[in-house]
Amino acid sequence: MRKAKYIDEVIPEAVDHSLFDMTQEEVAQVLNIKREGISSLEKRAMKKFKAILKEKGLTFEDLVVKK
């Protein structure tokens, strides 16, 4: 079985590419919340992300394209 190259191959609904090139401040402005709220959201999202990886038996390295 081929390992996934990108997170959206494993969890398609998890990726919103429109926010990838924005700072926390810019994302906060779009969502109309404080920057500190974005930091908190990132931390919670990473915790959930790690739990999903563990549940699926994957590691972060499984998702990284190795050259």
Q: How many helices, marked H, and strands, marked E, lie in the chain?
A: 4, 0
Long-range contacts of 34-40 (CB under 8 A, 24+ apart): none
The yes-or-no verdict on residue 67 having pLDDT over 60 is no
Q: What is the pLDDT of residues 20-51, one digit of tens each?
A: 678 889 888 988 999 999 999 899 999 998 89
Q: Of 48, 24, 52, which Cα lies nearest the Cα of 36? A: 24
In angstroms, the CA 10 to CA 43 distance is: 20
